[in-house]
Structure 1
């Protein structure tokens, strides 16, 4: 069987996996074991500084780890912050995997059980990255004025089951979304930003915050709401800041056909959730990340009087599809 043809054959829209008979394909050389997940990514620097991308991506496909980081701090500091966090997270994750899979020649997804205490390990993973940004990152950048957001997802096997457990964590305003074939797009993370603080202080409610966050024109907003919209990109915490962050943790079940998106604010500031959902639902698993970045770039070129979301920025997306 021609595997390249198979990818094209099933790539016209979001996959449907209701009755999977086999996870093995064959070609002229024998059986081929396909991985249960596909990982696709795209990242690009802001057009205002094309040689310096302050976003960084982390992918450990064999062990099910993915993350996006968005550095802040200006000049080279943001780039150093996100890259330092990637290096620290990768090293610590590999240590965790070795600890859980001692003696194995090839490491795979971690096994999720109630006794595995993986959420706590995920929190330590992020806090270790925070410490490394604050120390090693500051040393490399020559300044302590640097930080980075993070949105991280770890896919784990559930013994005896054909579905998976997703453990996720985040700090800042990089996001994780979940799309199922029969449900609307669901945002798994809540930004550490102005709108969240306004909700926390009961100045607006969650519905108001969503309305402001998804606006495309000033006609959709009052003057006060528009002032909130303009400031919605400010974050209230990040890795490498003056104090250790509060790491947000969560988990959910992942089924065949589910699609995950991890992205920095260059994507979700430019595109609405409905626009993101349309791309995830109608694009192939290999093309969705690229198309999200391309559409975000197109939006960033629009005049603000046409769409108030338009914003030049670094842009990064990871799309993970559960095949079986």
Structure 2
């Protein structure tokens, strides 16, 4: 039996209620133990291109049972794309500060092991035994201000540049990726999502949605709740369950 066949997932993206274009992209390959959410930035054309390139290149990576090797392949791919995107900035004319970049959050699984690799503020959550855990830590000015204890979470959120990213693929010549490895157990549910989704929902709303009987039902609840609000940004999510 294929050990990855135990994993089921459901994915969806929506432009939201305000934006006419969708700069998000996702990848869901449960048979290979690979899932991705990317949230592009730099205007529709540039942002959509950046997120699409990330998803397309990661989809081409070989599967396999060596998680450590696969983590290195993902890291190498993202570093190569970062160089390509940051280099292409010089080719964009007519903009004083051209940007072509994207956040990324990747989940890899192999038997009882999982690895999350990310840059930016797209997130990975784990729902386990009635508890919601945030696996990723945002690479944003908001999080940096809180970490450095300069401001309380409430004061930091009111900062005019609170949601500015401190890391993203394509944002600068050097890319720093974070990686967290953890064990996974039967019944675990994981959520990858862009900030447009989680900013619309409370932790209890996320948890109650992820507690539903299937990834599809969980995803339906997440989007139903998010789209009931302002939904000013693109929304993307992948729900994964073992």
Q: Secondary structure at the match of 2:28?
A: strand
Query: What's the counterpart of residue 185 of structure 1?
Result: 132
Contact 2:189 2:241 in 1 (8 A): yes
Question: Unaligned stretches of 5+ in structure 1?
Answer: 1-22, 24-32, 98-108, 158-163, 213-223, 301-310
Query: What's the counterpart of residue 110 of structure 1?
Result: 65
Q: Distance in 1 between matches of 2:108 and 2:52?
A: 19
Give the TM-score normalised by structure 2: 0.87
Say whether 1:176 aligns with 2:107: no
Contact 1:178 1:261 in 2 (8 A): yes
- Counting only pairs closer than 5 Å after superposition, residues 116-155 of structure 1 correspond to structure 2 as 116-135=68-87, 144-155=98-109
Say whether 1:319 aligns with 2:239: yes
Q: Distance in 2 between matches of 1:173 and 1:185?
A: 18
Say whether 1:233 aligns with 2:163: yes
Q: Does the C-alpha gap of structure 1 residues 298 and 62 become closer, same or farther in structure 2, counting only changes over 3 Å?
A: same
Contact 1:262 1:318 in 2 (8 A): yes
Deviation at 1:227, TM superposition (A): 1.6
Q: Does the C-alpha gap of structure 1 residues 57 and 225 become closer, same or farther in structure 2, counting only changes over 3 Å?
A: closer
Say whether 1:49 aligns with 2:4: no
Deviation at 1:79, TM superposition (A): 0.9
CA deviation string 1:181-208 (max 9, x = no partner): x24100000001122211343314xxx4
Aligned mate of 2:149, from 191, 202, 208 = 202
Q: Does the C-alpha gap of structure 1 residues 139 and 292 become closer, same or farther in structure 2, counting only changes over 3 Å?
A: farther
Q: Distance in 2 between matches of 1:137 and 1:83?
A: 17
Deviation at 1:238, TM superposition (A): 0.7
Q: Distance in 2 between matches of 1:131 and 1:67?
A: 20
Aligned mate of 2:174, from 244, 258, 261 = 244
Deviation at 1:111, TM superposition (A): 3.6
Contact 1:110 1:155 in 2 (8 A): no
Deviation at 1:133, TM superposition (A): 3.0
Deviation at 1:88, TM superposition (A): 2.1
Deviation at 1:297, TM superposition (A): 1.2
What's the RMSD between the two structures over aligned residues? Answer: 2.7
Deviation at 1:275, TM superposition (A): 1.1
Contact 1:80 1:141 in 2 (8 A): no
